[in-house]
């Protein structure tokens, strides 16, 4: 039995951030029922190139395994009636829409509490359901710029740079999943549901963490440092070996002591310029110059072996193909497989959320409206006549049943 078995979430979700939040709940056993708008061909993620064919894409597979799909027009009266019946049987309504849209569509707690007083309404939007930016459209790239992330990424003499992955979207999805689960636990404990107002903006700003604290209290302004160097821990950055790059990090004084011994420069430990974090921070360029000269003399693999045996935090700077070949990835069971009619065997990275010792089984992402029989018949108890009447009334759009 999976830990979230019995939890039912109606997901008015699309693209990346929203589906990323709910896919981890689906992996843990929650029934995630994707409501896909038949007027627009369902979740736009189905059509993301380059690996897309018809209504299937590897992008969509990544974010929607273990879920169910119902093509439902909630702007249609018959579709709205079906949606209300789902709310009566669900624990939560989850959406990732612009901040003012949930209320327009009737997806807030005040609008649904008469249908189900325990319902949790979780909205993940760009800027939240309040504030001057509420109605603004927003995406990961925009939030990385607005929240200051780009100002601290890249080389000092280069342009502002985004992170290589959509980390605001993915972090927002994780935050939404936490909020949704907290809301469900609260509703089951107290018998009253609630709204969960999660935004990418709040998420991005919260992830500024201690640099924000330093600025708010001491007026400190971060600046970009060469080779992705840490702002206060020296050395902790990228170094170039004879055949590539590696990261070496001395997050504790003991690692600095081990490092100078491992590279054959014990004299650096007693150099007054390098005796502690504060001193090394004041003489950052001198520290790095000394290390650069030594680390350039051996290969990445040679240094990883030497530094690893000395217990010094280090690692290679892999490209994606190299990362996908790391033996630890497979030892941890982080590559999973599903069978797909179009793509054959689909390999993807598993959820990092681990609960219990039982291995998690996976099924491919659903075809649009694939689970109508289960949702309408098994979950809602509609007979064939009721389902045909709803289809005739346009509840499911033009999708053939």
Q: Distance between CA atoms of 55 and 52, rounded to whole angstroms? A: 7
Asked, as a colleague might, if the bond just before 173 is cis with ω within 30 of 0, I would say: no
| Nearest by Cα to 362 from 1, 67, 50 | 67
Strands 8-12 and 92-95, sheet pairing: parallel
Helix axes 17-27, 167-190, angle to 10 degrees: 50
* Cα 5–chain centre separation: 22
Q: Are strands 314-316 and 335-340 parallel, antiparallel or unpaired?
A: unpaired
pLDDT score for 324: 97
CATH code of domain 8-206+336-392: 3.40.50.10540
Homologous superfamily of the 226-317 domain (CATH): formyl-coa transferase, domain 3 (3.30.1540.10)
The two three-digit tokens of residue 204, written as one number: 């991005």
Cα atoms in the 13 Å half-sphere on the side-chain side of 198 = 30
Cβ atoms within 10 A of the Cβ of 74, count?
A: 20
- Ranges in the chain annotated CATH 3.40.50.10540: 8-206+336-392
Q: What is the pLDDT of residue 357?
A: 84
236-240 β-sheet, strand order: 236-240, 245-249, 314-316
pTM, entire model: 0.94
The per-residue pLDDT for 296 is 98
What's the rounded Cα separation, in Å, for the pair 63 and 14? Answer: 10
Cα dist. 307→132, 233, 298, 319 in Å? 51, 18, 12, 21
Say what the pLDDT of residue 392 is.
94
> Helix or strand or coil: residue 6?
coil
**Buried-state track 34-61, b at ≥16 Cβ within 10 A, e below 16:** bbbbbeeebbbbbbbeeebeeebbbbbb
pLDDT by 10s per residue, the chain, length 401: 899 999 999 999 999 999 999 999 999 999 999 999 999 999 999 999 999 999 999 999 999 999 999 999 999 999 999 999 999 999 999 999 999 999 999 999 999 999 999 999 999 999 999 999 999 999 999 999 999 999 999 999 999 999 999 999 999 999 999 999 999 999 999 999 999 999 999 999 999 999 999 999 999 999 999 999 999 999 999 999 999 999 999 999 999 999 999 999 999 999 999 999 999 999 999 999 999 999 999 999 999 999 999 999 999 999 999 999 999 999 999 999 999 999 999 999 999 999 988 888 899 999 999 999 999 999 999 999 999 999 999 999 964 43
Which residues belong to CATH 3.30.1540.10 in the chain?
A: 226-317
Q: Provide the β-strand partners of residue 10.
A: 33, 93
Per-residue pLDDT, 381: 97
Confidence at residue 399, expressed as pLDDT on a 0 to 100 scale:
47
């Amino acid at each position: 039995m999976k830990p979230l078995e019995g939890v039912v979430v109606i997901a008015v979700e699309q693209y990346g951030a929203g589906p990323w939040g709910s896919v981890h709940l689906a992996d843990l056993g929650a029934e995630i029922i994707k409501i896909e708008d038949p007027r627009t061909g369902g979740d736009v993620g189905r059509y993301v190139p380059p690996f897309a064919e018809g209504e299937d894409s590897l992008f969509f597979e990544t974010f929607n395994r273990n879920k169910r799909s119902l093509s439902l027009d909630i702007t249609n009266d018959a579709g709205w009636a079906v949606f209300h019946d789902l709310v009566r049987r669900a624990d939560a309504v989850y959406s990732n829409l612009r901040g003012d849209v949930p209320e327009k569509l009737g997806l807030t707690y005040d609008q649904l509490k008469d249908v189900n007083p325990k319902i949790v309404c979780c909205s993940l939007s760009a800027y939240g359901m309040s504030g001057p930016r509420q109605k603004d459209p927003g995406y990961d790239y925009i939030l990385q710029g607005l929240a200051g992330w780009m100002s601290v990424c890249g080389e000092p003499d280069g342009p502002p740079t985004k992170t290589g992955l959509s980390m605001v979207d993915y972090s927002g999805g994780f935050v939404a999943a936490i909020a949704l689960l907290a809301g469900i636990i609260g509703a089951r404990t107290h018998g009253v549901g609630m709204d969960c107002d999660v935004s990418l903006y709040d998420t991005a700003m919260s992830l500024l963490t201690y640099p924000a604290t330093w600025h708010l209290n001491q007026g400190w302004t971060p600046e970009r440092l060469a080779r992705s160097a840490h702002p206060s821990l020296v050395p902790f950055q990228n170094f170039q070996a004879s055949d590539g790059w590696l990261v070496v990090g001395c997050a504790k004084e003991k690692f600095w002591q081990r490092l100078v011994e491992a590279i054959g420069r014990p004299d650096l430990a007693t150099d007054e310029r390098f005796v502690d974090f504060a001193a090394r921070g004041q003489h950052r360029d001198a520290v790095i110059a000394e290390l650069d000269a030594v680390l350039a003399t051996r290969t990445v693999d040679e240094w990883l072996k030497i530094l690893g045996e000395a217990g010094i935090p280090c690692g290679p700077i892999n490209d994606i193909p190299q990362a996908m070949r790391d033996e630890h990835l497979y030892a941890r069971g982080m590559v999973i497989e599903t069978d797909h009619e179009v793509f054959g065997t689909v390999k993807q990275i598993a959820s990092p959320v681990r609960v219990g010792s039982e291995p998690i089984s996976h099924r491919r992402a659903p075809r649009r409206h694939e689970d109508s029989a289960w949702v309408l018949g098994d979950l809602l108890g509609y007979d064939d006549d009721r389902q045909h009447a709803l289809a005739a009334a346009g509840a499911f759009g033009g999708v053939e049943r």
